[in-house]
Amino acid sequence: MARIVGAITTSHVPAIGRAIARSLQQDPYWKPFFDGFIPVRKWLKQVKPDVAIVLYNDHGLNFFLDKMPTFAVGAAAQYHNADEGWGLPTLAPFTGDQDLSWQLIETLVDEEFDITTCQEMLVDHAFTLPIELLWPGQQRHVRTVPVCINTVQFPLPSAARCFKLGQAIGRAVEAWDADERVVVIGTGGLSHQLDGKRAGFINKEFDLMFMDKLPTDPLWATRYSILDLVELAGTQGVELLMWLAARGALLGEVSTLHSNYHIPISNTASGLMLMENA
């Protein structure tokens, strides 16, 4: 049977792609951010996951306001990246795992999640940059299954619903009849707001509390409505829903192996956590 080896949660910001393209990892602005990934990459080299389920929010590349699924699961053999207008280099396609995709899709529908199934799917910076950070350059052998949660157009799914989605993903993986190691990645957040009067808003106190609670008391965050989360973390800070979903996939007791918090990266409070089933 397949096994979830752990969950990694991280922020995603387009500027990271530019920093990678220009090899700025040692630059004083970037070093505290990139150094946070060293222990996680070491862990990945040890546990060698075969597949990554990547929970992220698309920002208008694959889904636009005319058609916006609440939850969408990729079921393609390959996922192409494309120009989002940030001036980032377009990356080579990412290899899918259609067997795991359909295992997720069938389990989620069976558990009454009304998902959208995507046999073609473009992946944006929220998918590509965390993978580049975790498996830089030539080292990327991992297969991928993208899972999108809408954080772009209201109404958004609640924190409780996203956590339950993650739990259902965890059960789907554990029931997958394959000798495979699966890592779950959640990308987004932490606090940031890109537009309006509060542009540049960051809430360190809330972020650190959220990170503190996530491993051992993930339901703490589900007390907040989406509007509460917008107030506390910013309009784009609601991307932290991906962290809750990724944490939900760890079905046992959870321990934290690594965490890093650094503000700001571009307009965003960047956070990173590595959690394992204890």
Min separation Cβ 178 and ligand DHB, Å = 33
74 binds ligand DHB (CB under 6 A): no
Catalytic (active site) residue 12: no
Question: Please, which residue, 103 or 193, has the CB nearer to ligand DHB?
Answer: 193
Among 70, 128, 203, 268, binds ligand DHB (CB under 6 A): 268
Cβ pair 26, 202 in contact under 8 A: no
Query: Which position among 12, 59, 141, 192 bears the catalytic label?
Result: 192
Catalytic (active site) residue 192: yes
Burial class (CB in 10 A: 0-12, 13-18, 19+), 95: middle
Q: Which of the stretches 10-18, 28-36, 157-165, 213-221 binds ligand DHB when contact is defined by CB under 6 A? A: 10-18
For residue 200, give both structure tokens: 């540049």
DSSP letter, residue 117? E
For residue 162, give both structure tokens: 């996203």
- Residues touching ligand DHB, count (CB under 6 A): 12
Question: Please, which residue, 107 or 151, has the CB nearer to ligand DHB?
Answer: 151
Cα separation, 66 vs 86, whole angstroms: 22
Question: Please, which residue, 49 or 188, has the CB nearer to ligand DHB?
Answer: 188
270 binds ligand DHB (CB under 6 A): no
Cα→Cα distances 259→18, 81, 211, 213, Å: 24, 28, 8, 13
| Residue carrying the six token digits 């067997």 | 99
236 binds ligand DHB (CB under 6 A): yes
For residue 251, give both structure tokens: 């079905």
Burial class (CB in 10 A: 0-12, 13-18, 19+), 85: exposed
164 binds ligand DHB (CB under 6 A): no
Q: Which of the stretches 92-100, 131-139, 169-177, 264-272 binds ligand DHB when contact is defined by CB under 6 A? A: 264-272
Q: Which of the stretches 13-21, 67-75, 212-220, 221-229 binds ligand DHB when contact is defined by CB under 6 A? A: 13-21
Provide φ and ψ at 88, rounded to 5°. Answer: -85, 150
Q: Which of residues 190-219 bind ligand DHB (CB under 6 A)?
A: 192, 194
State the number of CA atoms in the 13 A half-sphere of 116 facing the CB. Answer: 15
- Cα–Cα–Cα angle for 10, 54, 244, nearest 5°? 60
Min separation Cβ 162 and ligand DHB, Å = 17
Query: Which position among 12, 59, 125, 262 bears the catalytic label?
Result: 125
Cα separation, 148 vs 61, whole angstroms: 12
Min separation Cβ 17 and ligand DHB, Å = 10
Q: Which residues are catalytic?
A: 125, 192
User: What residue ranges bind ligand DHB (CB under 6 A)?
Assistant: 12-15, 59, 192, 194, 236, 239, 266-268
